Structure 1
Amino acid sequence: MVVLLVDAANVVGSRPDGWWRDRAGATSRLLARLAPLTGRELPAPGGGAVVCDEVVAVVEGAARGVDAPPRVTLVRAEGSGDDALAGSAARLAGEGRELLVVTADRGLRARLPEGAAVAGPGWLYDVLPA
């Protein structure tokens, strides 16, 4: 059982689909697609499988005010989204939760707790329902 911790801005920004014209709308669409992952078995990055126990998404900036769909917990970054995600990862790891963090940000990856699994946005888009 893993907590899927998603860097929403990084995932949204990984595809040039016009998200910059409506960051909040693009984030809301991503969150709606994340909701069905809770409770599902997913292919693990690198092989095997994991069961997604909870989806936590960090939102920032213009997307901070979006509504959370059912089965997605939002962390609304007051400042830096990276700081909020690193803090959430540390808290969850401190609770003994297993993490799968989704981000392509190398600097952020270096700030994650030891043992946290990491996947890029491409992996997430591959497992998201259409």
Structure 2
Amino acid sequence: MLIVVDGANVVGSVPDGWWRDRAGAAERLRDALASAGPAALEGGTDDDELVLVVEGAARRVPPVPGVRVVAAERSGDDAIVDLLRREGSGGGVVVTADRGLRDRVTELGARVVGPSALRIHR
């Protein structure tokens, strides 16, 4: 199962000064996800793949073992939808609070949870 994290939305859900260093905030999220592994999401298993979708200034954030990073060429929302279409969304989970994205990915069969569903320390 894919666990797709809307990086900009999740980073933006915590008012910790992320706007001063968007790439650094995305790196901290990536590292927290890598540390937790698929268990970052309740019910996640070792067979699940964590995918962090980044955009804008955070596009330069590289992947690390355990977290694939997808750099959006356009909007992060579009990249998430394209990823789910390309790789299949059946059983996939998208972590976001974006209502528009929520509607788009549920139409593809993905389940959506909010950023608070992540069990990570940031």
TM-score (normalised: structure 1): 0.82
Quick one: which of 50, 72, 92 aligns to 1:99?
92
Q: Deviations over 1:69-88 (max 9, x none)?
A: 21111111111111101111
Q: How far did residue 122 of structure 1 move?
A: 1.0
Flag the structure with higher strand content. 1
- State the AA in 1 paired with 2:120: L
How far apart are residue 41 of structure 1 and its match? Answer: 8.1
The residue aligned with 2:110 is: 116
Identity rate, percent: 52
Contact 1:4 1:101 in 2 (8 A): yes
The residue that corresponds to 1:27 in the other structure is 26
Gaps of 5+ in 1: 44-48
Structure 2: gaps (5+ residues): none
Using structure 2 for the length normalisation, give the TM-score. 0.87
Count of residue pairs the alignment pairs up:
120
Specify whether residues 114 and 85 from structure 1 end up closer, same or farther in structure 2 by C-alpha distance, changes over 3 A only: closer
The answer for the alignment partner of 1:36 in structure 2 is 35
Normalized per residue, the structure richer in helix is 2
